[in-house]
C-alpha cells in the first residue's frame, strides 16, 4: 500500500462528502484503490470507514441527544434493535461501499510485471 494512498484518500473523501454530498465520498476510496497496492478493497474500505466513523463521532460530539434520538428511531424502524446497531450498520455500509470503490480504483491501475 502506498504511504500516501490512505491519507490523501481520506482527505479527498472527507472534502467531497462535506462539499458535494455523501455520494461522492467514494471517490476518495477509488483514488486510494488506484494509488495503493493489491486489489484495493482493504484500502478503500479503510478510507471510507475512517471518514464515516469520524463524521459519526462528530455528530455524537456536537449533538449527542439528537444523534441518539435518530439512532433510536432508526433502530425501532428496523425491528426494535438496540440503538448502537444502526451506527454499526452505517459503518458496515461505508466499509463495503469503500471496498468496492477501492476495487474499482485498482482496476484503473496500469498492469505491471511484478
Residue 63 within a domain:
yes
Count CB-CB contacts under 10 A for residue 74.
16
Mean confidence (pLDDT) of the chain: 92
pLDDT of residue 87: 93
Domain count for the chain: 1
pLDDT of residue 1: 56
Residue 44 within a domain:
yes
Residue 112 within a domain:
no
- Three cell numbers, residue 35: 494509488
Residue 114 within a domain:
no
Please give the Cα distance from 7 to 15 (Å, whole number): 12
Tell me which of 60 and 37 has the higher pLDDT.
Answer: 60
* Tens digit of each residue's pLDDT (9 = 90 or more) over 63-104: 999 999 999 999 999 888 899 999 999 999 999 999 999 999
Residue 49 is part of which domain span? 5-107
pTM for the predicted model, two decimal places: 0.89
Residue 113 within a domain:
no
Please give the Cα distance from 7 to 76 (Å, whole number): 36
Q: How far is CA 98 from CA 61, 69, 78, 113, in A?
A: 24, 27, 24, 27
Please give the Cα distance from 32 to 105 (Å, whole number): 7
Amino acid at each position: 500500500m502506498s504511504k500516501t494512498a490512505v491519507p490523501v484518500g481520506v482527505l479527498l473523501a472527507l472534502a467531497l462528502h462535506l462539499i458535494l454530498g455523501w455520494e461522492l465520498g467514494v471517490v476518495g476510496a477509488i483514488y486510494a484503490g488506484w494509488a495503493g497496492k493489491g486489489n484495493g478493497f482493504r484500502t478503500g474500505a479503510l478510507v471510507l470507514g475512517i471518514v464515516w466513523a469520524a463524521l459519526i463521532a462528530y455528530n455524537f460530539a456536537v449533538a449527542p441527544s439528537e444523534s441518539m434520538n435518530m439512532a433510536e428511531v432508526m433502530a425501532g424502524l428496523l425491528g426494535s434493535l438496540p440503538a448502537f446497531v444502526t451506527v454499526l450498520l452505517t459503518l458496515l455500509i461505508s466499509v463495503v461501499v469503500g471496498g468496492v470503490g477501492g476495487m474499482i480504483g485498482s482496476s484503473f491501475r496500469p498492469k505491471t510485471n511484478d
